[in-house]
A = this chain, B = another copy of it.
Amino acid sequence: MNNKVIAISRQFGSGGRTIGRLVAEKLGIPCYDQELIEKISEESGLCEDFIKERGEYASSGNWLANAFADRDYYGHSVQDDVWFAQRKVILELAEKGPCVIVGRCADYILEDKSPCLRVFIHADMKSRCERIVEQYGESNQSPERRLRDKDKRRAAYYNFYTDRKWGDMKNYDIALNTSSLGIEKCADIIASIYNS
């Protein structure tokens, strides 16, 4: 299997972003994460914070109601602009050469477009809680509540734009649990598939 692009989907707090960077280092290819946000921002003219939030997450509250309420007379929303800009940038990056892309529905966008290894990274609630407190500090909400909210909004976004179920293993070539396998081992496995 000679995959050109590795698309990493991940649960918030599971270490997917770190794995993306590690895999890219091991393979000597770029990992698009922050740079992706900058490029989508340039493409769409929208600010990076908005892209960061609205390129992967449904809005809080009743997402479906908001998704329709936010639309103009032609049925179009700003979130759609982000989606189309994101899609365009991801296709261009995949065209440019081998790379790792973290999140942003790249697994779906690249399907049938580019040879793509589709990876899902997850972990148990306990280790995700520890990880987000370590990385982002405490907040008013409990870590578990923050994670459940993130999961729910990320899934709603993915399901809306791709018409698939986020986290359903049939959409991925490999799904790895970092709580039991460890981040380094997960990166090794992904790199070994890419090289085989």
Contact = CB atoms under 8 A, between A and B. Distances in A.
Interface of A: 1, 117, 120, 122, 124, 167, 169-170, 172-177, 180-182, 185, 188-189, 192-193, 196
A177 B181 contact: no
Give the number of times this chain occurs in the complex, counting copies: 2
B122 A169 contact: yes
Given A1-B180, A180-B1, A192-B192, A175 B169 contact: yes
Given A1-B181, A193-B181, A169 B170 contact: no
Nearest to A186: B174
A1 B169 contact: no
B1 A170 contact: no
A111 to B, nearest CB: 12
Contacts of A120: 169, 175
B122 A185 contact: no
Contacts of A189: 174, 189, 192-193
A172 B117 CA distance: 20
Contact of A175 (B175, B185, B192, B196): B175
19 contacts: A1-B180, A1-B181, A1-B182, A1-B185, A120-B169, A120-B175, A122-B169, A124-B170, A170-B177, A173-B176, A173-B180, A174-B175, A174-B189, A175-B175, A181-B193, A185-B193, A185-B196, A188-B192, A189-B192
A62 to B, nearest CB: 26
Given A1-B182, A192-B189, A193-B185, A177 B167 contact: no
A169 B165 CA distance: 13
